[in-house]
Amino acid sequence: MAYVTLTGAILSEILATTSMKYSHGFSRLWPSLGTAVGYVVAFALLAQTLKSMSVGTAYAIWSGAGTAVIAAIGMVFLGESTSALKILGVLLVIAGVVVLHLDGAH
């Protein structure tokens, strides 16, 4: 169940961050509300996850997955620059999450 709530927290955080991009500095109502609601849901689900998963593992997965997906969304859908170095950085974030998860899985 922890991975279900963690997945929900990750998806909520991704939606909130993407909404923030479209809020234009919180000057647009609906994306601003989407940002606020998304982060409230993300933190609520993360808090539930922490009842049964170590904070280091949960936070590494939550933040790493969110970072990697948001970077990919930026490059693929939002016209942000793509380079081999940026892709390497995303892969290193993912590798770090995997290593932390493996260490926490004992």
Distance from C-alpha of 37 to C-alpha of 96, rounded to nearest angstrom: 29
Interior/surface letters 55-73, b for 16+ CB within 10 angstroms, e for the rest: eebbbbbbebbbbbbbbee
* pLDDT value at 103 more than 80: no
Predicted pLDDT at 6: 97
Q: How confident is the model at residue 98 (pLDDT cuts 50, 70, 90)?
A: confident
**% of residues, the chain, pLDDT over 70:** 97
* pLDDT value at 106 more than 70: no
Nearest to 13 by CA among 58, 81, 67: 67
Predicted pLDDT at 101: 77
| Burial class (CB within 10 angstroms; exposed 0-12, middle 13-18, buried 19+) of 81 | exposed
Stretch 55-65: mean pLDDT: 91
| pTM score, whole prediction | 0.90
